[in-house]
Structure 1
């Protein structure tokens, strides 16, 4: 019975643990780039988003906050410019989050472009 508990604990730990170790410098670079995109508005919504960006604990949470950032930027600069600004952040996330989130599939050749990857120019 003890061996099954040990095996279950090992499997659970591997499934739950994050395979990427977060470099504080890269987290800081991503955070700074996202904060720099925010307009200098003092509205409650902007301050709330700014606070959420500041307290994010890992690049993965910042990755998911891109949607909120995009929505905010759409109001101030238009959809196309906002999309370009948010997509410019994409290279900062490489090697900090899982390739699947970036739209890449490990072990496949060619471009694994999907919706989250920036278009080729």
Structure 2
């Protein structure tokens, strides 16, 4: 039942993602996507640090936060890549529900900062996490 609700929510977000016009202010959408991808990024960083999946999730989370810091003007050209990252984040939540719950507070906090217009790029780790994963 919970998995169906999550899938339905993701579908709703996906429809909005592809229907939002380029340049349109999309604070709620960006907030939802930062939540989904944020959870995925944290799960990937914990289960497969430094992997291609972890790097993709992290890079997309940084992109979403960058969009948020610029007023949440939607970038339709990124919709396909963002959708892929959201699906990956969702799949990670389904495969690792306990870890997903463990990182939920951080994702909630980030999404709330996006929604409030208070997020900063420094709220998400930078490339230094890859150097740490290599050691």
Normalised to the residue count of structure 1, the TM-score between the two structures is 0.33
Structure with the greater alpha carbon radius of gyration: 1
Normalised to the residue count of structure 2, the TM-score between the two structures is 0.31
Give the number of the structure with larger relative contact order, counting CA–CA contacts within 8 Å between residues 6 or more apart: 2
